[in-house]
């Protein structure tokens, strides 16, 4: 831990994801992780970028009663297909739903919207990233083998885990922040935390 942060406000990551924890650890800060209880359903006619920012803030706010003096980080990610009939894809939750999602993504270009919120008392700081991913044409057997190898994919937006075997499913990835696709945009997170008073690096 950076000595300049020895007296900094307690830092909490509002997530149960081990991937988000591993990402935040890269910034060299001491923090604890706790799982928020939030309804992640989109609201009627809600813009994609608004959904992810709202949910990132809601996840952080859900932990405020437990950690009233802490600085809390929330993050959220959704996947949306491009084209004339865009489809919004969140966490599938089941293997059957994951198979359907990957069939939908096969051969298509999609956008992963990832938002981060740094909640410090009443001060809300928000940022977002959009990552474009072009998927290969996926065969049914490829989808099944991928889900056999990556059962945790049912807990990821679009059933896609780029940090693991999922990288083999795509042709190209384009982003301003490669960490965003894994679930936490570190470039933006570092900036927001510096604004909140943390020394990074």
pLDDT score, position 9: 87
pLDDT score, position 2: 55
Counting the structural domains of the chain, the total is 1
Helix (H) or strand (E) holding 171: strand 170-174
Owning domain of residue 86: 3-195
82 domain-assigned: yes
pTM of the model: 0.90
Residue 142 has pLDDT above 80, yes or no: yes
CATH of the domain at 102: 3.90.950.10
All residues at 6 or more sequence positions from 118 whose CB lies less than 8 Å from its CB, including other chains? 60, 71, 72, 73, 124, 125, 189, 192, 193, 195, 196
**pLDDT tens-digit series, residues 79-114:** 999 887 788 898 999 999 999 999 999 999 999 999
Which residue(s) pair with 120 in the sheet?
71, 123
Residue 110 vs residue 122, higher pLDDT: 110
pLDDT score, position 3: 54
123: tokens are 């001060």
Catalytic site residues?
76
126 within 8 A of 116, measured Cβ to Cβ = yes
């Amino acid at each position: 831990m950076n000595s300049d942060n020895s007296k900094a406000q307690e830092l909490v990551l509002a997530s149960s994801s081990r991937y988000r924890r591993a990402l935040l650890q890269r910034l060299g800060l001491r923090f604890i992780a706790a799982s928020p209880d939030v309804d992640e359903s989109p609201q009627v006619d809600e813009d994609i970028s608004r959904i992810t920012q709202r949910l990132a803030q809601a996840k952080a706010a859900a932990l405020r009663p437990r950690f009233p003096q802490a600085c809390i980080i929330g993050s959220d990610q959704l996947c949306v297909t491009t084209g004339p009939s865009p489809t919004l894809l969140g966490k599938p939750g089941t293997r059957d739903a994951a198979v359907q999602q990957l069939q939908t993504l096969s051969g298509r270009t999609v956008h992963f919207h990832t938002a981060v919120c740094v909640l410090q008392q009443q001060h809300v700081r928000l940022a977002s990233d959009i990552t474009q991913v072009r998927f290969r044409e996926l065969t049914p057997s490829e989808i099944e083998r991928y889900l056999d190898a990556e059962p945790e994919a049912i807990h990821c937006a679009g059933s896609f885990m780029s940090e693991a075997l999922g990288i083999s499913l795509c042709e190209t990835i384009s982003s301003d922040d490669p960490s965003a696709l894994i679930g936490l945009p570190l470039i933006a997170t570092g900036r927001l935390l510096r604004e909140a008073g943390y020394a990074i690096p």
